[in-house]
Structures are given as structure tokens and as C-alpha cells.
Amino acid sequence: MTATMPVYRGPAADAWISKNLTAGASHALDIDVRRKQEKLSAAVRDIIATVGSGGDAGLQAIASRIGDKAPRKLVLNATALDALAGRLPQSTKDVLSAAAANIEKFGRAVVQSVKSSTVDFGEYTAGFEMRPVKRAACYIPGGRYPLPSTALMTAVTARVAGVQDVCIVSPRLCDEILYAGSLASVTEFYEIGGAQAVAAMALGTETIAAADMIVGPGNAYVTEAKRQLFGRVGIDMLAGPSEVAIIADQGANAKWIALDLLAQAEHDPDSRVYLLTDSVEMAEAVAAALPLLMAEMAGLPPYIGDVLEASAIVVLPDLQECARVSDLIAPEHLELHVKDPQGLKNSVTSYGALFMGYCATVPFGDYAAGPNHTLPTNRSARFAGGLSPLTFMRGQTWLNVKEGAAKLASTTADFAAIEGLLAHEAAARARL
């Protein structure tokens, strides 16, 4: 693993931006990719249909067909929880508990920032309030690494939102995930993964009660199942490969930046990492540090070199141009390694989560700082935000109309007449 990141400056930087980020950039899928996506979509449709018609038997049939273990339900009662706590080192429990406390504290602040509203119009009053969904399913991936952090980020956040019925679904229910769930008072766990898990949570089976909302990242099958079932069930987002953009000035620490790029690159072979800087020296220092750090760290995944080669270090005229290009990337994570991060914050608008200052790093947000790590990817930060307690809540309005609300009834009837909806008009005039 000796690869490093390509550095673009001057006309090469302009060409890279034009090719990859501007409105005229070509994002058309080649025929092979399109065929793979169509094949994936068809496979997921078949899985959903099998679960929908067969329930538990359908899940068993899918597991047998692909060589998976049979789905397993686990109820974490007091006895099981005591046994679990005895198996885990105290240090592990302390770390998970500390992270859970921060996530809960931050989430409660978000909930408290949203106030119910009542408006008095004289003839009637109108109001707005937020209400949590009744049942949420938290999907925890079981791929290269166990992710108790995702169990905390999803389940604790759901509880803070007021969701009473929360379950955790994962193809790999390790003790750390179980304990993380217990910190959110989750007692219902299912060891099942893939599109079939999403289908079961959306449609319900004899064993698994259907959820109102499914949250949490997953592989391409999980994401496609969420896409196809959205509308039948609520979802948080369609998560793609992880990404980070770092804006750095000449005062930044090149080694820290290189480490942050490597940390994001180790997530997935399709991860992308970007450094935007106004300093040629910083760009060269980071590019030189990457292979040295890779050589020092045994055990990094073999695909990191490919991720770096597909990513970019871009040298731009000034930090304002870095901010502009960052908004074009609309990254999942954005780090501001600059002298005045608060000042530059006013110039960036499209990101999932922002990390400000030379000492900030995405791993702080991944684990223990408090804000959520389930974030929009693939430029969706232009129109979507990350997981929060508000994800699990529905904005609801109400009207309380007094007798003799003549002005409201008359205006409504006249408006209905403009649109030609006769029954609407009649219903309003009847109140006059």
C-alpha cells in the first residue's frame, strides 16, 4: 500500500472541478454499472416479494438459498443482561456508556429546541406540534467491523425522540452491539441482515412486528430495499459510501490531516476523501505523509490505496474558493482546519456534519462527541440532514374552529369555487 493522493493545482484543479463537480459534469452510468444496478433492483424486489408473501417461512427460504444462518430473535431480559454485562470488560462498558451519555445529552438539546406553537386567528386557533413514531427499527451493519457506535447513534436517538418501541436488527449481534442497545433500553433484537431484514421490518412477519420507521446504514442491498419500501415505511436516508472533505490553511498539521483522510478511507472501497487548500506546501506535505503513515500502520485494509488514488488534493487560490468547491462536493463530513473556522463556517452551507478547528477530527463525531454519525452522502447534503431525534418525529398541525367563523367559511367557499370543487364549496358555505 504505497499509493498516495493525486494533487491538482492551477489548470489541472479547474479541470478536475469541471469534470467531477459542476453542473455540466457527466454523471451518466456506463452500461455495466447500469446493468448491475438493474440486477440488484430485481433481486431486491424478489426478496421483498418473498418476505411479503411468506413471512417467517420466506425469511427461512432466503437464508437457505444464500447460505445464511436462520434468522434469530433475542430478548434481552434481566438475566440475559446480567450475563452480557459479565462477559464484557468494564473498560468497554465504560466507553460505551460515556458515548451514550453524550449522544443522549445532545439529542435532548435538539428536542428541546423544537417548540409547539399555537396561533390565534380570532375565529379559530391553529397549532403545530411534533409527535414521535410508535415503532422504530435500527439496522446495524455486520460487515468488516462490528458497529456498536451505530447502535448507540440510532437507538439512543430514537429513545430521546420519545419512541416507545425500539428494536435492533443486525446480521451480527455481537456483545458490544447488544450492550449498546441495552443502554438505550432496547430488549428486542433480531439477528438478520440484508434486504430481507429491511423487508421484514417494513412488512412484518409472524415473529417480527412491522416498524413505522427504519434507520441505519447498510450495504447496497439494504439501501435498495429501503428505497423500494419507502412510503410503506419511513426511512432516514439512502446512505452511500462514506466521504470527507477537509479545508486546510498553511497553519494546519499535515500529519493530522493525513490521518483523518486515512480514517475515512478505511471505511469502504468506495469511500472518497478530499483535501482543499490554499497552500501548495500543505498539499505536498499531506501527499508525502500518506504513504509513510500507511507503512507505519499494520492492518489497514488493502483497498485504502485505491481509495486515495480515486480521491483528490486540490490547491485553490484562497479559502473562499475552497468553501465554494466544498459546497459543490456537499460532503458527508467537512473539516475546517483553518485559523478562523468560525469565520469560514459562514461560507459553507452543504455538509452532513461540520468539524471546526485544527484539533477537530471526524472520529470524534463517529463515536463519542454527541452529534449523530448517520449522515447524508452522495451530495445529498445539498437537501438533507443527518439523523437526529427529529427524524423519528412527525410535524402535525391542528385547527380548533369556533361557531360562527364566517370569514374563514366565506373565504374557503370562494376559494373552492375558483378551483371548481363544488362539494368543498358547499361544505364551507354550510358553516355560514
CA 161 to chain centroid, in Å, comes to 16
* Pairing label, strands 234-235, 243-248: unpaired
Catalytic residue among 333, 335, 373, 425: 333
- Tell me if residue 267 is catalytic: no
- Give every CB contact of residue 287 below 8 A, 6+ residues apart in sequence: 4, 5, 7, 313
SS3 state of residue 332: coil
- Tell me if residue 333 is catalytic: yes
- φ/ψ (deg, to 5) at 267: -65, -45
Element at 28 (helix H, strand E): none
Element at 335 (helix H, strand E): strand 333-337
Letter for the amino acid at 260? D
In angstroms, the CA 412 to CA 400 distance is: 16
**Residue 200 · residue 51 · CB < 8 Å:** yes
In angstroms, the CA 331 to CA 333 distance is: 5
In angstroms, the CA 56 to CA 200 distance is: 8
Catalytic residue among 176, 332, 335, 425: 332
**Residue 169 · residue 139 · CB < 8 Å:** yes
Q: Per the structure block, which three cell numbers stand in for 361?
A: 477530527
For the chain, the residue count is 432
What amino acid positions are annotated as catalytic residues? 332-333
